[in-house]
């Protein structure tokens, strides 16, 4: 069965029918997505799905990945952190590496990008590709997946010189958008309910997964799934757990994550987390290879999902937990705010103390956990599944290719 048919069983046939109607406007259109990694992190995950669904709709969709040196990724990690507002100094030498690597990739991808009708460039890493395509045929859109509402000015100024050249840009939330002289679109990301990470699993599989990891499923489990990144505040989660543990001695904490290939800092953060856990037997720090089914089982077996980020683009782990009928305790930041509705789908928190308070409340109110989980699931169904996401991308392509902005005199 085609994937869209299966999706229709979950979201309704009217939703999928609308996708086909929109795709009629995009016959014979070639679209290329470009990002910096094929695995790890939310962007790769979403691209894999979007591209295959666009193909099912009859659109000629492709996905390319830029190649870089360790120095390049060191630079782009610096840019990423600086755009999040951290005070990072990026030496001019590294900025030259950034431009040079983009030039090399532009050369390598010349044929596929030059003639594409629509090109989506994801995040800062490949943003500078555009300077090497002065005579490009298609519309180029910069898709930003991170919170750049309070960037370090120098670094944003550097990046903006490239972003300004695009025909449009996409942000997750209004508060992330910058003042730019081209059309800007707001598109929150999504999850795939048919992917290995989100499909329903038998209880047996969940139990077996927990057994193999040495975690006791008969006791409460707090789970945070995240790359080992300081912005995800794993240490804050351990602090919150310790405050809860005094009142609920049976509680366990699982911090599960892997490293994205473009993230050289993850190993250092992992060591910090292990040191903070200090060998405590009920804290499970898991450094995992990519394994969607395992993450799925972990999320389904958890009592409460935590995502205590200090900054967050969107927070797909929040969406994933909510889809699995779990209440989520999330950092009061970025896209988590779009998903965690206080007292309805979970709680927003700002400190380890706040997180501990909410965890204690939920642990002692199983009926509230159940009700919140139910609301969380239907909230995701309405707003954060791949079908809604795909519809938004098709709309952007139509708006660009048919010059809707100009027709409406919006620019
Ligand atoms: N993820 C995973 N394994 C890990 C850590 C994360 O599969 O060890 C997945 C997680 O389930 C989610 C994505 O990677 O789908 C992370 O997306 P999110 O938006 O939460 O954070 P990002 O890594 O993009 O900052």
288 lines ligand 1 (CB under 6 A): yes
* 196 inside domain: no
For residue 197, the ligand 1 atom closest to its alpha carbon is 11
Shared domain for 178 and 50, answered yes or no, is yes
pLDDT surpasses 80 at 361:
yes
316 lines ligand 1 (CB under 6 A): yes
Closest to 389 (Cα-Cα) out of 47, 36, 78, 39: 47
What pLDDT shows up at residue 290?
Answer: 84
Summarised one tens digit per residue, pLDDT across range 118-167 is: 999 999 999 999 999 999 999 999 999 888 888 999 999 999 999 999 99
Tell me, in angstroms, the distance from the centre of ligand 1 to residue 196's CA. Answer: 14
Query: Taking residues 367-382, what's their average pLDDT?
Result: 97
More confident residue, 409 or 14: 14
**Domains held by the chain: number:** 2
* 195 inside domain: no
H or E element at residue 6: helix 3-11
CA distances from 206 to 29, 202, 203, 213, 260 (A): 43, 7, 5, 11, 25
| CATH number where 95 lies | 3.40.50.2000
Shared domain for 357 and 404, answered yes or no, is no
Shared domain for 47 and 86, answered yes or no, is yes
pLDDT averaged over the chain?
A: 94
Asked whether 32 and 116 are in contact (CB, 8 A), the reply is: yes
This prediction has a pTM of: 0.88
Closest to 31 (Cα-Cα) out of 406, 410, 393: 393
What pLDDT shows up at residue 270?
Answer: 94
pLDDT surpasses 90 at 246:
yes
* 197 inside domain: no
The band of 313, judged by pLDDT with boundaries at 50, 70 and 90, is: confident
Number of other CB atoms surrounding residue 17 within 10 Å: 11
Ligand 1 pocket, mutate which of 80, 81, 189, 226 (most atoms under 8 A from CB): 226
Shared domain for 379 and 269, answered yes or no, is yes
Shared domain for 177 and 207, answered yes or no, is no
Shared domain for 261 and 372, answered yes or no, is yes
Specify the pairing of strand 139-143 against strand 168-171: parallel
Summarised one tens digit per residue, pLDDT across range 67-108 is: 999 999 999 999 999 998 889 999 999 999 999 999 999 999
Domain that holds residue 369: 203-383
Tell me, in angstroms, the distance from the centre of ligand 1 to residue 317's CA. Answer: 6
């Amino acid at each position: 069965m085609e994937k869209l048919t299966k999706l229709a069983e979950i979201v309704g046939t009217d939703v999928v029918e609308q996708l086909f109607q929109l795709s009629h406007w995009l016959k014979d259109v070639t679209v290329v997505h470009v990002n910096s990694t094929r695995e790890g992190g939310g962007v790769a995950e979403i691209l894999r799905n979007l591209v295959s669904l666009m193909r099912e709709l009859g659109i000629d969709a492709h996905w390319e990945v830029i190649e870089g040196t360790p120095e390049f990724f060191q630079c782009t990690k610096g840019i990423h952190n600086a755009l999040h507002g951290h005070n990072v100094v990026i030496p001019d030498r590294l900025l030259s590496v950034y431009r040079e690597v983009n030039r090399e990739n532009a050369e390598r991808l010349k044929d596929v990008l030059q003639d594409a009708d629509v090109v989506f460039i994801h995040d800062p890493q490949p943003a500078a590709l555009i300077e090497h395509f002065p005579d490009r045929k298609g519309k180029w859109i910069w898709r930003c997946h991170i919170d750049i509402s309070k960037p370090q000015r120098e670094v944003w100024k550097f990046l903006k010189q490239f972003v300004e050249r695009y025909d449009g840009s996409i942000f997750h939330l209004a508060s992330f958008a910058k003042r730019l002289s081209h059309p800007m679109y707001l598109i929150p990301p999504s999850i795939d309910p048919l992917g290995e990470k989100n499909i329903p699993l038998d209880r047996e599989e969940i139990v077996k997964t927990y057994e193999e990891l040495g975690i006791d499923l008969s006791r409460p489990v707090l789970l945070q799934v995240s790359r080992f990144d300081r912005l995800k505040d794993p240490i804050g989660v351990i602090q919150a757990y310790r405050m809860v543990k005094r009142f609920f001695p049976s509680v366990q904490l699982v911090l599960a994550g892997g490293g994205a290939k473009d993230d050289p800092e993850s190993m250092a953060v992992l060591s910090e987390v292990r040191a903070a856990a200090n060998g405590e037997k009920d804290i499970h720090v898991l450094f995992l290879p990519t394994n969607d089914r395992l993450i799925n089982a972990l999320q389904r077996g958890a009592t409460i999902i935590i995502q205590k980020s200090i900054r967050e683009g969107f927070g797909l782990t929040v969406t994933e937990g909510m889809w699995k009928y779990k209440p989520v305790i999330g950092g009061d930041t970025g896209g988590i705010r779009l998903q965690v509705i206080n007292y309805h789908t979970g709680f927003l928190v700002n400190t380890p103390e706040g997180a501990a308070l909410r965890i204690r409340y939920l642990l002692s109110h199983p009926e509230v956990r159940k009700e919140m989980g139910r609301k969380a699931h239907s909230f995701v169904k309405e707003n954060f599944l791949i079908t809604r996401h795909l519809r938004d991308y098709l709309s952007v392509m139509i708006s660009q290719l048919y010059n809707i902005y100009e027709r409406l005199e919006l620019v």
